[in-house]
Amino acid sequence: MASLKQTQYVREAFGETGKSTIYYIDIRAIDRFEDFYQMVQKDATVSFVKSKVAKIVENQENGNPILHGVDTEGYHRYATEHDLVVLAVGMEPEITGVKLPDDIILDSSNFIEGSKDGGMFGAGAAASPLDVNRSVQSATAASLHAIQVIRKTASTEAA
């Protein structure tokens, strides 16, 4: 979705001369974002290539990047030159050099699921991508759950 939005920024800034190509493996346009995805697909200045780019090399004559790969829908090789390439990378947890408490439970992708004692809560479902609204809802739910545990603990300690 971020890549789709960026193409619209290019379109707004450069009009018909601002052309974008999105090389993708899959596009996750969930719920109401499907309409936005379809709008971008209809834009003549945006093209889509279902492919994992194999390599990027520099054109020695003009310094432009050339993308090489195989279009998985047409199964033909391409070597396409562009003025600019923007790499959209997936989210990965950064835990290198971070000492997490021993009771933290990590999922298979190293995202925090929670803790063994129930005192830490992970916001977001790492099993599936979330849009901004669902991410906020998930974070709010984790916060409210934490508040419930704190209140329950405080009332138990006060008694």
**On the CB side of 75, how many CA atoms lie within 13 Å of its CA?**
0
Is the pTM higher than 0.85? The answer reads no
Considering only residues 44 and 109, tell me which one the structure prediction assigns the higher pLDDT: 44
User: Measuring CA to CA, which residue among 5, 31, 24, 38 is closest to residue 89?
Assistant: 24
**pLDDT given at position 120:** 64
- CA-CA distance, 22 to 51, in Å (whole number)? 9
pLDDT exceeds 60 at position 124: no
pLDDT 10s digits, 28-70: 777 778 888 999 999 999 999 999 899 999 999 999 999 999 9
For residue 123, is pLDDT > 60? no
Q: How confident is the model at residue 144 (pLDDT cuts 50, 70, 90)?
A: confident
